[in-house]
């Protein structure tokens, strides 16, 4: 089923000069800072999110994630600096920003004494969607999140995962340019988490929506195009998951060979790495494991039985940049003990 916009919406679109063409960034943040009475929550951050990108915003609790999201969603005014969302300034053009964003909150904001459909209908009215497009749009989204059959049931009877999916559908109802997902899968079981991510992936394909999300889960951060790590109000790292991992540490290559002694010698002589032996295999680290393996096979001169390459995980990235594990509760009490190095296991 293809979505056909109501002709009237075209007129509406014409007079509004929506989506400014001079800015290609979906979100652009400059020297953004916010201090409360006692606390400098955000201390001058800069970043850009490109259109269509899935951008992950990571940080320990209290690092400034929520404050940043609130500023971008026009719920909080920055103390200094500026931010644009969909090309509109979050302070001076709040109304415009609000028209272009969707928001899925951390905790449920769905009315549970209403049916799924009533919730969406109210939302459509608040956003003044043209009446002609609402039923079709509602159906598409409810089908996408697998709730079409339950559309008339009271939300009170829904499971946590169903509520979350309904919330995502609601956030998308008005085709936002930028969808903010604040911990979209928190408190969900692994199965539901993965189905929520399936929807997010589908969104990316079908709606051309830019997604800005915060998460505590490292495996979810891996799914983002780029991630920023914020700690104590500053962005301490920003890049693709791959580049951040590369930045943190080298890859570990583990090989088993027919003749380990010869292999050890050859590794030192030909590749100038520092191999070590453990549990019947040889391991060493190189900057880019995947590119290294073909060379290794071609030039080692010893029969190789198995090869594996291990990348540092994003957990390691997070730990390296913030000095604490991602699930620590409070950034004001930095944890000094570090998790075991990925290179040892």
Strands across the sheet with 25-35, in order? 40-50, 25-35, 80-85, 88-89
| Comparison of 126 and 268: residue with beta carbon closer to other proteins | 126
Question: Quick one: which of 27, 49, 103, 263 contacts other proteins (CB under 8 A)?
Answer: 103
Whole-number Å distance between alpha carbons of 105 and 73: 11
Closest CA to 34 of 2, 61, 5, 72: 72
Nearest-approach distance from CB 341 to other proteins, in angstroms: 42
DSSP letters, 281-297, are EEEEEES-HHHHHHHHH
Question: Quick one: which of 26, 29, 41, 73 contacts other proteins (CB under 8 A)?
Answer: 73
| Comparison of 129 and 196: residue with beta carbon closer to other proteins | 129
Strands across the sheet with 276-278, in order? 276-278, 281-286, 251-257, 304-310
**Lookup: tokens for 49:** 């999110």
Query: Should residue 237 be labelled a site residue for other proteins when binding is judged by CB under 8 A?
Result: no
| Comparison of 125 and 189: residue with beta carbon closer to other proteins | 125
Find out whether 51 and 44 touch, Cβ atoms under 8 Å. Answer: no
Contacts with other proteins: how many residues (CB under 8 A)? Answer: 56
Contacts of 125 (CB under 8 A, 6+ apart): none
Residue numbers 137-196 binding other proteins by CB under 8 A? 137, 140-141, 144, 174-177
Pairing of strands 80-85, 25-35: antiparallel
Question: Quick one: which of 157, 159, 194, 206 contacts other proteins (CB under 8 A)?
Answer: 206
| Comparison of 31 and 122: residue with beta carbon closer to other proteins | 122
Nearest-approach distance from CB 325 to other proteins, in angstroms: 30
Nearest-approach distance from CB 98 to other proteins, in angstroms: 4
- Containing 219, the helix (H) or strand (E) segment is helix 218-221
Binding positions for other proteins, rule: CB under 8 A: 1-5, 9-10, 12-13, 15-16, 18-19, 73-77, 95, 98-101, 103, 105, 107-111, 113-114, 118, 122-123, 125-130, 133, 137, 140-141, 144, 174-177, 202-203, 205-208
């Amino acid at each position: 089923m293809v979505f056909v916009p109501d002709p009237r919406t075209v007129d509406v679109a014409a007079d509004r000069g929506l989506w400014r063409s001079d800015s290609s960034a979906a979100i652009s943040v400059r020297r953004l800072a916010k201090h409360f009475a006692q606390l400098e929550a955000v201390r001058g951050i800069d970043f850009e999110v490109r259109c269509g990108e899935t951008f992950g915003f990571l940080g320990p609790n209290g690092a400034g994630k929520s404050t940043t999201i609130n500023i971008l969603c026009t719920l909080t005014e920055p103390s200094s600096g500026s931010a644009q969302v969909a090309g509109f300034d979050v302070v001076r053009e709040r109304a415009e920003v609000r028209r272009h964003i969707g928001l899925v909150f951390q905790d449920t904001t769905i009315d549970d004494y209403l049916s799924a459909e009533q919730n969406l209908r109210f939302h459509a009215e608040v956003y003044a969607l043209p009446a002609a497009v609402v039923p079709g749009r509602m159906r598409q989204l409810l089908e996408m999140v697998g709730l079409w059959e339950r559309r008339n049931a009271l939300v009170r009877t829904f499971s946590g995962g169903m509520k979350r999916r309904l919330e995502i559908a609601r956030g998308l109802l008005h085709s936002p340019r930028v969808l903010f997902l604040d911990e979209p899968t928190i408190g969900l079981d692994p199965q539901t988490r993965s189905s929520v991510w399936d929807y997010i992936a589908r969104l990316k394909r079908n709606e051309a929506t830019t997604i800005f999300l915060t998460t505590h889960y490292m495996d979810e951060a891996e799914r983002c195009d780029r991630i920023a790590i914020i700690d104590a109000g500053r962005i301490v790292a920003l890049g693709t998951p791959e580049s951040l991992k590369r930045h943190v540490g080298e890859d570990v290559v583990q090989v088993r060979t027919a003749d380990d002694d010869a292999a050890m010698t050859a590794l030192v002589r030909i590749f100038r790495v520092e191999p070590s032996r453990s549990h019947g295999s040889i391991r060493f680290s190189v900057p880019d494991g995947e590119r290294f393996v073909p060379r290794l096979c071609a030039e080692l001169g010893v029969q190789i039985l198995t090869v594996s390459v291990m990348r540092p995980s994003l957990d390691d990235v997070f730990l390296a940049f913030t000095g604490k594990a991602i699930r620590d509760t409070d950034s004001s009490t930095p944890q000094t003990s570090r998790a075991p190095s990925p290179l040892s296991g």
